[in-house]
Structure 1
Amino acid sequence: MKNIIFLLLVLASSQLHAQIVKQPFHSKALENSLIGTQSTRDIHIYLPEGYQQSNKRYPVLYLLGAYSWPIKYSQHIETMLDNHKKNGRNMEMIIVMLEGNTPLRGSFYVNSAVHGNFSDYVIKEVLPWIDSKYRTKASAKHRGIAGFSMGGTGALRFAAKNPHLFGHVYALSPGMFDEKGMAKSYLTSKDAIKRYQAFKKELATAKDPQAVMKAEFASFQGREIWNNGQANSYSAYLMAYAGAFAGNAEQPFGVHYSIDPAQKPLWYRGFGELIDLYSTPSVVAQLSSVRIDVGDKDDYIWISEGVLALKQKAQANKVPITFDVFSGGHSDQALARLEHHMLPFFNERL
């Protein structure tokens, strides 16, 4: 009897603590992508302390992973929240952690024939499923979205285009182009363009397109993407970006704008439209709060310059966005900023 009582006490005690739920989720939206993106994906869900014992409803933060950033980053979030609790700040929110990886390492969280319909996955599948399965405060003023790098780009796009769903957005070092940014990006790498052109030519005449893509993408998997040199990682990024933003029914990977200048607006749109959206007062007015952080020496110079160009336009148009330009590069202080800036931002607003 004593053993049974002890076990029950241990179980009850464990349920009082915050926990990460790791949930496989099958997405119809991601089925049948050209490159074979995995349609059953892990979602990590942080449930705050006491969730299992209460009838309370909680605000929700959606956190989007970066390009080639696996879902295991949820371990960092759990530690960050524990640190806040130890310092007397118990953050009572549900956090839903998603990643946008594909065989090309990044989907940019948009709908595309190449990667799959990632926007539909997040907006039409995951969000209503979370609200039906967990006790959420299912309104925009209690729902936020955030992300780092590619995740920051996705968060900004989701919020601007779905203000009825997300009231608050925070982006750390988001991919962003000003008018000169695309010319400074990996999309202009001669080696990457050459490989992209050769791959598309082979794919167009292939009897087994899946075999061609599997062979082409083999050097992009795991650490191989970095171990095979800069040209290899540039090629992966160019192909991923092209598949997300430049494709059409006849050319799913698009046509490079150096070959056909008429295609340039499609290539620019992926990162460039964010400046147009967030310098427009009527767009930002629909959101309760917007914050963008960026390093002043981002490794990807177009990100620093893009965010600073947006800051200038937003201030000129009197658009209420908070910018924080810190000293450092792309990944410098990323975890610290998530812990000490992002989480408090949402804790104060949701």
Structure 2
Amino acid sequence: MKKRGQIQCVVILLLLLGGGIVAQDQKSNYSLVEIPAPSLKDNLIGTKDVQKIGVYLPPSYLDSDQLFPVVYFLNGYTVEAGEYPKTEAFDSYMKNSKEHEFILIELNGHNLFEGSMYANSPVSGNWEDFIVRDVITYVDSHYKTLAKRESRGISGHSMGGGGTINISLRHPEVFSVAYAMSPAVLANDNLLNGMFKNDSTLVQVQNLSEKMVNVRDEDFSETLQQELKSYDRKITSIFGILAFGSAFSPDLSQPLKIAFPFTMNADGTFSKKEEVLEKWVAGFGNLEEKVKNYKNNLTQYKKIALSCGYQDETPGLLEGSVYFSTLLKEEKIPHSTCWYTGKHSDKVSEQLIGEVFPTMSAYLHGEK
């Protein structure tokens, strides 16, 4: 989520933790880099097939011939690469970890709807493929990386945590360590109930859908972008609904190219469509089925870890994280958890410094 004002708080936090101000020659080198994104080509909502990624190079990178492990970090919903920089956290950790340096790649799943859920979709583009194909190919060909699964980790926060889990389930040939922070995983449909609890939001979706009924496919992207300009992103949840639906319930026969889990009745009330709701839940849910289906993949990881705050205010995330851990235990899949006192976003930097970065360093450098 957008936390521009949080950067100052992060700096203060690091000072309290003893991180101090890192000397110039100890700092990482951070830059935003535009890379080709062929996997996103031909999406229907106008996302460009050139994307920005944030590249953090460790302090010794420029003066060394060493090859480095790489951690791929997936940002949360609404967050673009470079908007919520983790430079202070990365610098603070790296200055005390000279023997365990790695490259950190910051990714975003940002689009017209402010989030892709990092899923493959004919509507919003193939974001999972973008990560495991486009980004990794680019990074391995442009930077001094250890280009093998044993030296790659994937992590993310919120939507990025959910993406971390879904992608790691299917790609043990690409990554060997996965750490999901406050992940969007669902033990039930609480999150979706929160999306659709307000009838006025459903009316907005219905009205927007009616406006798009006669729009030609070739005009879809431009027309939708124009229509969405009239909605205030700060006070309506319609963007989150469109993001979730386009990722997990695409239907090209519908006006918005999405099958929605509700229908409007003649009296203006709404009813659930259970068969469609199952598709929405499956996006970040259906955890039992996923763990069983991908058990062999999960056992190939050197490390799987989860963290979430006890006071996380996003409906269902703590419950979903605990439930996912329970399922992993039942299938005897090794993993670790970190449940801490905190909300959804107030401990991100602290968790990166104290949990995520040390885990990645230890396992990607082969110490564990």
Structure-2-length-normalised TM-score? 0.82
Answering whether residue 145 of structure 2 is matched by residue 131 of structure 1, we say no
Q: How far apart are the structure 2 equivalents of 1:58 and 1:305?
A: 36
Give, in angstroms, the shift of residue 201 of structure 1. Answer: 2.1
One-letter code of the match for 2:281?
A: Y
Identity percentage over the alignment?
24
Answering whether residue 247 of structure 2 is matched by residue 244 of structure 1, we say yes
Answering whether residue 55 of structure 2 is matched by residue 45 of structure 1, we say yes
Secondary structure of 2:357 counterpart: helix
Summarize the Cα distance change of 1:74–1:55 in structure 2 as closer, same or farther, 3 Å threshold. Answer: farther
Give, in angstroms, the shift of residue 121 of structure 1. Answer: 1.2
| Equivalent residue number for residue 21 of structure 1 | 31
Answering whether residue 225 of structure 2 is matched by residue 225 of structure 1, we say no
Give, in angstroms, the shift of residue 168 of structure 1. Answer: 0.4
CA contact (8 A) 1:44 1:74 kept: no
| Equivalent residue number for residue 173 of structure 1 | 182
Give, in angstroms, the shift of residue 74 of structure 1. Answer: 6.4
| Equivalent residue number for residue 265 of structure 1 | 278
| Equivalent residue number for residue 102 of structure 2 | 93
One-letter code of the match for 2:85?
A: Q
Structure-1-length-normalised TM-score? 0.86
Summarize the Cα distance change of 1:17–1:331 in structure 2 as closer, same or farther, 3 Å threshold. Answer: closer
Summarize the Cα distance change of 1:170–1:20 in structure 2 as closer, same or farther, 3 Å threshold. Answer: same
Matched residue count: 329
Give, in angstroms, the shift of residue 153 of structure 1. Answer: 0.9
In the TM superposition, what are the counterparts of 1:1-350 in structure 2 within 5 Å? Answer: 18-73=28-83, 75-76=85-86, 78-87=87-96, 91-182=100-191, 184-206=193-215, 208-218=219-229, 224-226=232-234, 229=235, 232=236, 234-251=237-254, 253-259=257-263, 260-274=273-287, 276-278=289-291, 281-350=295-364
Secondary structure of 1:29 counterpart: helix
How large is the Cα RMSD of the aligned pairs? Answer: 2.4
Give, in angstroms, the shift of residue 281 of structure 1. Answer: 3.9
Give, in angstroms, the shift of residue 21 of structure 1. Answer: 3.2
One-letter code of the match for 1:341?
A: E
CA contact (8 A) 2:45 2:112 kept: yes
Secondary structure of 1:301 counterpart: coil
Q: How far apart are the structure 2 equivalents of 1:281 and 1:138?
A: 25
CA contact (8 A) 1:81 1:91 kept: no
**Higher fraction of helix:** 1
CA contact (8 A) 2:182 2:306 kept: yes
Secondary structure of 2:208 counterpart: helix
Q: How far apart are the structure 1 equivalents of 2:261 and 2:41?
A: 29
Which moves more between the two structures, 45-54 or 275-284? 275-284
Summarize the Cα distance change of 1:217–1:335 in structure 2 as closer, same or farther, 3 Å threshold. Answer: farther
Query: Unmatched 5+ residue regions in structure 2?
Result: 1-22, 264-272
Q: How far apart are the structure 1 equivalents of 2:99 and 2:196?
A: 44
Q: How far apart are the structure 2 equivalents of 1:75 and 1:281?
A: 34
Q: How far apart are the structure 1 equivalents of 2:222 and 2:68?
A: 46
Query: Unmatched 5+ residue regions in structure 1?
Result: 1-12
